Structure 1
Amino acid sequence: MEKNYIRQPAVILAGALLILYLLSFVNYEYTIAGFTFRNIDFFMDVKSDPAEEEFSNNSRVAIEPQALFAGFDFLKPLEFFTAEKDNANYAYQGQKTGFYGNTEQLKYFFDALSNAKTKPFRIAHYGDSVIEGDLITADIRELLQKKFGGDAVGWLGIVSQDVAFRTTTKHTFSDNWETASVYTSNPKSLKLGISGEVFIPQGNAWVEYEVSRLRRSLKGFSKVRIFYSDAKSSDIYYSFDNSSKKSARLNPGIGIQELVLDAGKTVKSARIEFPQKEQAHFYGVSLEGAPGIYVDNFPLRGNSGVDIAQIDPATLKEFSKYLNYKLIILEFGLNILGSRMTDYSWYEREMGKVIKNLKEAFPETSIVMISVHDKARKRGSKFETDPAVFKLLDAQKKIAHNNGVALWSLFDAMGGENSMHSWVTANPPLASRDYIHFNNQGAERIAELFVESLLDEYNKRK
């Protein structure tokens, strides 16, 4: 009689699952030949987390808005039509945190603040995907403009990766632009602009900008400043608020140049057309209105910050003639985190080059690094800070100290070790359930904490 083997696969599978289940409760971590091995909870996605369970039971909205776009809260627009949000937990996340390093060089920014309404100036905010979609930057801008003047969004690229979740500007463009950047590739070694990008039209190209209704503080703009180089002697065409089309002349030459399109009044939209192929190398525009502060959002997706060194210092210096930067913020870190990495000396060296270039181009500009924030990983049934965060934070403090700039610890401002979990489970939530990215409300809270610390330092010196 033939033996029945039908049950054997089921027995083997059940045994394997039992072993994996038991192993998920054993905490271990060891290194062999440079590779770190640690326990993995194979069942963590089906186990309940008491904190998450409590959040789900108490939350007004069960939908996770970060499902498609990390950092963008699709429910944010509903706040205009719904009752006032519950800030019971929101306001208590984070803590006041001072600056580390050379705070004396903040004097350039503080001096400019005192005269912002008569002598406009700018802030450049470079960062990784954490600031994509104008996150954090938009709220820093709003807080400072309310107090010191200025009422438009400032810098925008010609082509952008974050148009789907940018809440401050509706930005559309044709699909016939050649692009190069520090975060993609630059096979022709084209000169990159202040944002680390360059855009070349391929004939009958266009771009449109429109003020978003989702930001009540942004009323409109009265002029568009276009930055370009290597132009043919030719015309572009533009219109404001769908009015009749006008033309403007580009000046030939290899240096950075500016073309100002003046609406003569406050408008909500602008369309610019570029009829000729390779008409010029365009770097971006600045939408501007009343005198005050303009805060420019420069997101470099997937970047550690070191690639800013690809922007020629001579080009940065040319931009400094047109853009009066008094503060440069560098917010990077997530893209170099790795639990096996213990030596960040290469990062310290390369970021030192970036800061050196920026200082040469903008000698009377303050520089602040915003540190890596808390990033959680799941160990068993609990979320805890990735150990690499501590190593990177130490490296960033060394960068600030060795290069004579200031550092604001976002890690400490969040609440320090294991704080990301409380931001994710706050009511309303302040971060995505990837335990890495902030949502709109989290970005707003970070901006509040940062500006509060900045103005505290400013008030000490008044």
Structure 2
Amino acid sequence: MALSFVKVEYFIERINFTIRTFDLLSDIKDINVEEPAINFLVGTPAVNKASLNIIPLVIEAAKRADELFREPSPAQGVKTPIIGNTAQLRNFFEAVKLAKSKSVRVAHFGDSAIEGDLITADIRETMQNKFGGNGVGWLGIVSQDITFRLTTKHSFSQGNWDAASAYTNNPKGLPFGISAEAAVPKGNAWVQYETTPMRRYLRDFNTVKLYYTNAKTSSINYTFDGGSKQTMALKPGAGVQELILKAAGKAKKIRIDFPVAEQAVVFGASLENDPGVYVDNFPLRGNSGVDLQQVSTATLKEFAKYMDYKLIILEFGLNIAGNKTDYTWYEREMTKVINNFKAAFPKAAIVLISVHDKSMKKGSEFITDPAIIRLVNAQKNLAKTTDVAIWSLFDAMGGQNSMPLWVNANPPLAFKDYIHFNDQGAKKVAQLFTEALFEQLNKSK
């Protein structure tokens, strides 16, 4: 009879069946009489309905029934090797063997698919788990993804930074750093980075490296974990400069203040715990990748003195996939980008990650946009002509018409726009890519 007082409702979607409250007393109750309190025994404390342990049992039974009738979701992802010039990966593989005692850097450039540290975070975590490392690496000064980036809490003073980037605009012609971004303080500007518990290897740091150029004779102020203010002078002059800030121990937060207007062009910072692997996330929202040409080869070479990348990943294409039949221009412009990276980082392996499947609606069905297939072929040709490697994310997803399978997976791996991956999908992409990378590692032994 206790079931009469327990409100339960559970819907089993597959069989269109709902479990609802069954009231054994319904036939003898006066519908106008208020349901009696369950603690009607005089002299006894009120009974907690949850203590009856009926709700969990009923819901668990319903869940098991749901699982019984549910059709299993097809496995998403197809084992896909890295192809092209894989021999260039040897330098990277040799470097990670020494990652326990020396820093190894990986750059991951991409469009909005990697914003918020998506995909990159899981590649980083997998590599740091395998080879060692503790720290998020590169972070910008003024970024567009701070509201949904979960791996690091990033904030900056509003309204007193002049910011420019290759994916927005650059009215003052500021020189870009390696992330294709730049920011100039207007006075009393600040930026703050704080770790989060979301990732095992990103919970603290002991070193912050600030990158800038064209500094005035001036100083910045900084604090670790809200402690005492410290001051350090900037090095004036042209060229990319590195300022190293050391914490007394393990830190979780740093705030850097720029008190002087236009005291430097600031590119970004890197949060580290030497040694180990660092995978830097460089998202260019709405970009095809060709605008990386706006980062001069000279600047890339300057950064190479501090960040000797052993692996550079280029993941672009979605933003040019449209009603195009000829991607010759894209191959030509991306060839320039790749050659610039080769000139600046001659020992780095370069791996292209192809555009992923993207659906268009035809009648009541979602099918692969024909432009995607043409673009994947163009990217494979680009890898061949520039003598770099490529990993086909399109093929790894399952090829043509695979996006609906990712959207309808359980749990879903992509949003219902049939274009973008969600967190789970990003994790799956990273898993498929690192598996292909480690397969090459095993072959090289």
The one-character-per-residue Cα deviations of 1:15-51 (angstroms, maximum 9, x if unpaired) are: xxxxxxxxxxxxxxxxxxxxxxxxxxxxxxxxxxxxx
Aligned to 1:226: 210
Q: Distance in 1 between matches of 2:216 and 2:273?
A: 29
Q: Give the Cα–Cα distance (whole angstroms) in 2 for the partners of residues 125 and 451 of structure 1.
A: 13
Query: Residue type of the partner of 1:164?
Result: T
- Residues 102, 274 of structure 2: 8 Å contact kept: no
- The 8 Å contact of residues 226 and 258 in structure 1, kept in 2 or not, is answered as yes
Aligned to 2:222: 238
8 Å contact from structure 2 (residues 209, 243) kept in 1 = yes
Number of the residue aligned with 1:217: 201
In structure 2, the residue matched to 1:389 is: 372
| 1:360-414, Cα deviation, whole Å (9 max, x unpaired) | 0000100000000000111111111111111000100010000010000000111
Deviation of 1:54 after TM superposition, in Å, equals: 7.0
Shift of 1:427: 0.7
Query: Which digits, 9 at most, give the CA deviation of each residue in 1:315-357, with x for residues without a partner?
Result: 000000000200000000110011x310100000000000000
Alignment pair present for 1:408 and 2:396: no
User: Aligned residue for 1:133?
Assistant: 116
- Higher RCO (CA 8 Å, separation ≥ 6 residues): 1
Partner of 2:315: 331
Which of 77, 81, 97 is equivalent to 1:98?
81
Amino acid at match of 2:244: V
Q: Are the aligned partners of 1:348 and 1:396 in contact in 2 as well (CA < 8 Å)?
A: yes
Q: CA RMSD in A?
A: 1.9
Q: Which residue of 1 aligns with 2:416?
A: 433
What CA distance in whole angstroms lies between the structure 2 residues aligned with 1:54 and 1:297?
40
- Structure 1 gaps, min length 5: 1-52, 59-85
Write the distance in 2 (CA, Å) between the matches of 1:197 and 1:55: 49
Equivalents in 2 of 1:89, 1:191: separation in Å?
53
Q: Is the 8 A contact 1:90 1:430 kept in 2?
A: no
For residue 306 of structure 1, what is the aligned residue in structure 2?
Answer: 290
* Alignment partners' CA distance in 1, 2:274 and 2:203: 11
* 2:171 alignment partner, SS class: coil
User: Contact 2:108/2:281 (CA < 8 Å) preserved in 1?
Assistant: yes
Alignment partners' CA distance in 1, 2:310 and 2:350? 8
Alpha-carbon distance between aligned partners in 1 of 2:306 and 2:146, rounded to the nearest angstrom:
26
- Residues in 1 aligned to 2:369 and 2:13: alpha-carbon distance in whole angstroms: 24
Q: How far apart, in 2, do the equivalents of 1:171 and 1:381 lie?
A: 42
Residues 214 and 91 (structure 1), Cα distance of their counterparts in 2 relative to 1, 3 Å cut: farther
Q: Which residue of 2 aligns with 1:82?
A: none
Secondary structure of 1:165 counterpart? coil
The structure-2 alpha-carbon separation of the partners of 1:229 and 1:55, relative to structure 1 and needing over 3 Å to count, comes to: farther
SS class of match (2:147): helix
Residue 201 (1) aligns with residue 185 (2):
yes
Counterpart of 2:95 (choices 100, 112, 125) is: 112
Task: Find the counterpart in structure 2 of residue 161 from structure 1.
Answer: 144
Q: Matches of 1:217 and 1:281 in 2, distance apart?
A: 30
Asked if 1:171 is matched to 2:154, the reply is yes
Structure 2 CA distance, aligned partners of 1:259 and 1:409? 38
Match among 399, 409, 419 for residue 402 of structure 2: 419
| Aligned ranges 1:57-96 → 2 under 5 Å | 92-96=75-79
| Deviations 1:84-129, CA, capped at 9 Å, x for gaps | xx9x978921011001211111112111121111121110000000
Distance 1:413 1:224, change over 3 A: same
Give the Å deviation of 1:213.
2.5
Q: Does 1:150 align with 2:128?
A: no
Q: Give the Cα separation in 1 of the matches to 2:404 and 2:14.
A: 11
Alignment of 1:263 onto 2:247: yes
Contact 2:110 2:315 (C-alpha < 8 Å) held by counterparts: yes
8 Å Cα contact 1:156-1:285 kept in structure 2? yes
Question: Which runs of no fewer than 5 residues in structure 2 stay unpaired?
Answer: 1-11, 18-66
Stretch moving more, 176-185 or 206-215: 206-215
Amino acid across the alignment from 1:184: T
**Cα 1:373/1:54, change in 2 over 3 Å:** farther
2:236 counterpart letter in structure 1 = P
> Residue 57 of structure 1: CA displacement?
7.5
SS in 1 for 2:168: coil
Residues 133 and 201 of structure 2 are in contact (CA less than 8 Å); yes or no, is this contact kept in structure 1? no
* Distance change >3 Å, CA 123–CA 89, structure 1 → 2: farther
User: Do structure 1's residue 449 and structure 2's residue 424 form an aligned pair?
Assistant: no
On the 8 A contact 1:55/1:427 being kept in 2, the answer is: no
**Which amino acid in the other structure matches residue 416 of structure 1?**
G
CA contact (8 A) 1:231 1:281 kept: yes
Tell me the SS of whatever aligns to 1:295: strand
TM-score (norm 1): 0.80
d(CA) in 2 for partners of 1:166 and 1:431? 18
Q: How does 1:36-75 map to 2 (within 5 A)?
A: none
Contact 1:123 1:328 in 2 (8 A): yes
Encode CA deviations 1:152-197: one digit per residue, 9 max, x unaligned: 1000001100001101000000021001111011122221000000
Shift of 1:290: 3.5
After TM superposition, which residue ranges in structure 1, 4 or more long, deviate above 2 angstroms?
53-58, 88-92, 213-217
Give 2:263's match in structure 1, choosing from 276, 279, 283.
Answer: 279
Residue pair 2:185, 2:264 contacting (<8 A) in 1 also: yes
What is the aligned length?
A: 382
Residues 224 and 286 in structure 1, CA contact (< 8 A), matched pair in contact too: yes
Specify the SS of the correspondent of 1:272. strand
AA in 2 matched with 1:109: F
Residue in 2 that maps onto 1:46: none
Hey, what does 1:321 align to over in structure 2?
Answer: 305
User: Residues 91, 282 of structure 1: CA spacing in aligned structure 2 closer, same or farther, 3 A cutoff?
Assistant: farther
Following the alignment from structure 2 to structure 1, what is the Cα–Cα distance between the partners of residues 441 and 375? 28
Cα separation, partners in 2 of 1:239 and 1:90, compared to 1, 3 Å: farther
Q: Which residue does 1:11 correspond to in 2?
A: none
Q: Which residue type is aligned with residue 382 of structure 1? A: E
* Counterparts of 2:260 and 2:350, CA distance in 1: 39
Higher CA-based Rg: 2
